[in-house]
Amino acid sequence: MNQLGFSKTDIFGEDIEDEENGEEDCHDRVKEEDDEDGVSHRDSSAGSSTSSSASSSSGSSESGSRTGSDDEDDGDGDTGVSGGGVREVNTMMDEDKDLFGSDNEAYVKTPADSPFPIPVLPTLTNSNNHGRGAYGRPIRSNRNSNDRSQPLLPWPGGSFQQRNNRFSNVRNDERFISEMKLTKSEETLSRKNIEIQKPSEIACYSRVEGGQVLFDETNMRLFNRNVCDYVGSDLNEGFESFVEKTDLGSEGFGDLLGCVRNKKIPLDNIHFVTFRNNMNKIMATAYIRNEPWKMGVYKRNRTVYLDVHKMPEKQKSSFEHKCCYWGYSFEKLATEDSRLVDGDHHIDANVEFCSVLKTKLGAHRIVMGAEMDCFDTSPSGNKYYVELKTTRELVDYRTEEKFERDKLLKFWIQSFIAGVPYIIVGYRNDTGQLVRTERLSLHDITQRVKSKNYWQGGVCLAFADEVLCWLYGTVKENENYVLQFVYPYQRLELLQADSCPDTITSHIEVLKDG
């Protein structure tokens, strides 16, 4: 028992009913004694129901004022004293009661009703397609247009749709065919030993000014080994006459297929025909999960054709246009005959040279087109390609970490998958001045990030192998699909496409007639 006379047992235990019954009996006895002698009982109750003199004084003062008021209303002194005594006892007992204790008789006996109507919650609908195995949280349906009432409580952080369904598997696209969930960890993928065959060049083609395509080495450029002499050059030179790259869509893929036909490259035992750009996207998704992409997928004669689909982009600012130009400007400096006598620095981004390569990743044979910046020769006379890259100067630890974690990963994938052994990086400042250059080999890059555990090239290869296995086994002959990765979902989705590009259809017809 404590000072107030309450039991130390658990207030939610089995003896609650005993305490409540005891308090009720005590309260009845107080009423009976009060009827006999209100004044005497008030004095004794005031002394026993408080634990300090200050509390007793406050209770007596309050009860006295209430008693006087009741005397005036009733006009009967004896009745007022008796009624005041009861109210005084109840008041002092209320002050000592625990709100959630078992002796709170008034709280326990409070009726569970309300004068207000019961609120009506909005109806819930579930748009999941359970027939395809999609399970997720339901989406709130729109209220009736005539219902002007607000919801009972707002959704935290905005409406359910505005929060991008981040933790939901809701799939509203009726074109959905299949998915590959990205659930395997880096450790699991690192245990897989995926072999890749060294890429070998089987053809090439050039796109000259005006858009004409030549199946030769016309636009192949030689690497300028004295590029370090141009440190301090202004990469803005010639920006006014810059011709930006035009999005050719499926027409560009048609040029690759045209080169395949021109060189009579057999595709009977080839699993995939694609641009290197598609392989870059797939391999990089092993680590980079915040960049959406999509590509067309078309299976014809047991060969899957992967067409590049460009994602919609926001309008570039003037600074972003200049950053894009600085890359082309550095490429012109890093190749032979880049400095013309008359000072002409005209650059057309549509002029390019593409190599057609054959490789094997895991069990899948791939024919791949890859744009090449330039080439160099070894002391023995062997030709090899060189990648040219431009990036902002690394000014602190944060920029260096981002460079090694993201950019070096993309540099490595793009070069490794095409068998390019070296990368020349030009570092520039924010005004477009070439600050320094650096030559990186694929081995240098892997050793640079290995100690920091940023990423592993073997994980990218293992991830790409799983994607190709799932994709080739899922798509059907003569069907059209779109493969996409949409942030923030951790899965690849295969959707039904409406049609096949004319470039692929005509390519298949030519092969059939030939």
User: How much is the pLDDT for 213?
Assistant: 96
| Alpha-carbon dihedral 129, 130, 132, 133, rounded to 10 degrees | 130
Residue with tokens 């994602």: 311
Residue-range domain boundaries for the chain: 174-513
Given a cut of 50, whether residue 64 has pLDDT beyond it is no
User: How much is the pLDDT for 58?
Assistant: 43
CA–CA dist 271, 264 (Å, integer): 17
User: How much is the pLDDT for 313?
Assistant: 81
pLDDT in tens, 262-280: 999 999 999 999 999 999 9
Strand 422-428 and strand 383-392: the pairing is parallel
Given a cut of 90, whether residue 481 has pLDDT beyond it is yes
Q: Taking the complete model, does pTM exceed 0.85, yes or no?
A: no
- How large a percentage of the chain has pLDDT more than 90? 59
User: How much is the pLDDT for 103?
Assistant: 54
User: How much is the pLDDT for 119?
Assistant: 64
DSSP code for 396 = S
Identify the CA nearest to 122 among candidates 140, 135, 107, 136. Answer: 140
Q: Is 422 helix (H, G, I), strand (E, B) or coil?
A: strand
Given a cut of 60, whether residue 329 has pLDDT beyond it is yes
Instruction: List C-alpha distances in Å: 206 to 282, 435, 454.
Output: 26, 32, 37
User: How much is the pLDDT for 141?
Assistant: 43
Given a cut of 50, whether residue 98 has pLDDT beyond it is yes
Given a cut of 90, whether residue 422 has pLDDT beyond it is yes
- The half-sphere exposure of 438 on its side-chain side, counting CA atoms within 13 A, is 16
* Other beta carbons less than 10 A from residue 78's beta carbon: 11
Given a cut of 60, whether residue 156 has pLDDT beyond it is no
Given a cut of 80, whether residue 367 has pLDDT beyond it is yes
Given a cut of 80, whether residue 162 has pLDDT beyond it is no
Is there a contact between 3 and 51 (Cβ–Cβ < 8 Å)? yes
Given a cut of 90, whether residue 90 has pLDDT beyond it is no
Given a cut of 50, whether residue 38 has pLDDT beyond it is no
Q: Confidence band (pLDDT; 50, 70, 90) for 314?
A: confident
Average pLDDT across the chain, whole number: 78
pLDDT in tens, 196-245: 999 999 999 999 988 899 999 999 999 999 999 999 999 999 999 999 99
CA–CA dist 41, 104 (Å, integer): 22
- The half-sphere exposure of 187 on its side-chain side, counting CA atoms within 13 A, is 0
Given a cut of 50, whether residue 36 has pLDDT beyond it is no
Given a cut of 60, whether residue 362 has pLDDT beyond it is yes
User: How much is the pLDDT for 338?
Assistant: 47
Given a cut of 70, whether residue 389 has pLDDT beyond it is yes
Q: Per mean pLDDT, which of 8-22, 343-357, 455-469 is the most reliable?
A: 455-469
Instruction: Please work out, in degrees rounded to the nearest 5, the angle formed at the alpha carbon of residue 304 by the alpha carbons of 300 and 306.
Output: 120
